[in-house]
Amino acid sequence: MQKQVWLVIERGEPFEIGTRLKLEPGELCLGRSSEKQQVDISFSNFLISRCHCCIYHHKDGLEVCDTGSKHGTFLNEKRLLSHKKYPILSGDRISLSMGVAVFRIVQSALDEVTIDLTQPVTVSSDGAGVILDDRKRECRIEGQPMPLTEKEWLFLKLLHDHANTAVAYERIKQAVWGERFNPEQEIVDVGADEMNSLVYRLRRKLGARAGLLKSVRAYGYMLEIAVK
């Protein structure tokens, strides 16, 4: 039975979370378009290379290939070697530049109900009573909403996605302040005061659960969540 293939956005400007892009047979280039070079699917963050990776949709299945990007292409959290094709399956998650853009691949038969494509992408952690709803960009603790600014959300989401694993300062800067990437110096121009202020505000909002947000000396931060 013929299958339709969709790319479902979980993160990545200028797309809204949940955007579905139909993948037609052939080769599609993903990256960041410029006046001189256009790609099939274009993201706006400067950490994404002009032609970052390619997806190949052929009769035998799907493959992804990093085309020599600076900050990498990841398949289910594993970084791909450049210029090597890897098979991808329905449900696989691909991220560009360590999570600046994230999407999943979904296949469905033409006569199947497409509810899986429209469900909000929700990440929950029962161990700490913390629930993150990607579609609403909302955090709830024990069922109560916790209002967050955009940068607080990006920070918490990053740590939550890598729960119980230390996340480096540079990775946090890229995810939270990606718009301030300086291509000439190849750095994200964010000082320690801004990082400390962000951590302070988030800990205040976490209240009794502020202890979940751990500082890892000389490295970064970690969200420590006990797994039941």
CATH code at position 129: 1.10.10.10
Same-domain check for residues 132 and 214: yes
Do residue 112 and residue 180 come from a single domain?
A: no
Peptide bond into 14 cis (omega under 30): yes
Query: 79 and 170 share a domain?
Result: no
Domain of 167 in residue numbering reads as 122-223
In a domain, 228, yes or no: no
Please check whether residue 181 is in contact with residue 188, taking contact to mean a CB–CB distance below 8 angstroms: yes
Q: How many structural domains is the chain composed of?
A: 2
57 and 70: one domain? yes
Residues 41-81 have pLDDT tens digits of: 999 888 899 999 999 999 889 999 999 998 899 998 888 99
Pair (130, 196) in one structural domain: yes
41 and 101 within one domain: yes
89 and 39 in one domain?
Answer: yes
How far apart CA 221 and CA 167 sit, in angstroms, is 5
Which stretches in the chain have pLDDT values below 70?
1-2, 109-128, 135, 183, 226-228
Say which amino acid occupies 182. N
Q: Which of 58, 90, 118 is the last residue of a domain?
A: 118
Check whether residue 88 and residue 191 sit in a common domain. no
The pLDDT tens digits for 4-30 are 899 999 888 888 888 889 898 999 999
Contact by Cβ (8 Å): 29, 38:
no
Tell me the whole-structure pTM to 2 decimals: 0.58
